[in-house]
Structure 1
């Protein structure tokens, strides 16, 4: 029978009843901290208890209304799901049309392996003189080297290379948050390079 506690050996908690207490009867409702407080009753007394039991006893009208909301507790934050072996969905920001983003998720494998970098990220890599096989440490090293070469404080005051310096800085800003690097860091547990 539903609600029966298997292996219960106590007597019914109702005063004077000697029948086996095989059914849980709540005294305090369950909460976030645990299953609640209950006592064991026989079938007849648990039916009597359930007929009188009111979950909302002691609650204010506002608390009752909140507990009866259709979506009660749905406004709590939830954790993000990981991609368990599946390819991650494309970033929406990489597409002008949302339908293109959806279609990209379902393209067939005959189009070749998925690209590690977006077109904008590949352009930033080319500004730094790196290829698709670059890792974040390579990007950092190349960025540092180029900034030292193009910055007027480091190249003897030559301001003619400021445009190149701006392109290098822009490329770094794009690549330091590249999905290829942030996904790899989250898998390895390494701190981000921001």
Structure 2
């Protein structure tokens, strides 16, 4: 209910009873008013009523920290120096392992034959290493086709998308210079 005496409307709007004094954090005490009474309250509300000029100045003062002098930038082109990797501790090897995976994924073949991005993706689909030869490619393709083909699974077609991906990957690698 509205906090105004004699009002029967629902009190949906919050209005302060008095502004917080003494630098307290958070809002001061408040009451709930109906729309008409909160409009009346807002039209006559003065946060600084009853404050001395010094109290008003303190209330309007910028937040602490803005008055401090800013520190100078480092002499490395206006930016701080990044931490040295030697000083960084990675006990779970989270960064090193991720870097190692990326380096392995981008590694070339030992025989020097080039691999395109599509070739690398096809190798991942077939589950082959970058250094696999043509014999390993044929053997892996044959195993996966037997595994996913509906004739070998009693007519079950749930693996059809996987079979299609295996066939596309084999076709990509079969024509690749790395497997020529």
- The TM-score, its normalising length taken from structure 1, stands at 0.35
* Structure (1 or 2) with the larger CA radius of gyration: 2
- The TM-score, its normalising length taken from structure 2, stands at 0.37
Which is bigger in relative contact order (C-alpha 8 A, separation at least 6)?
Answer: 2
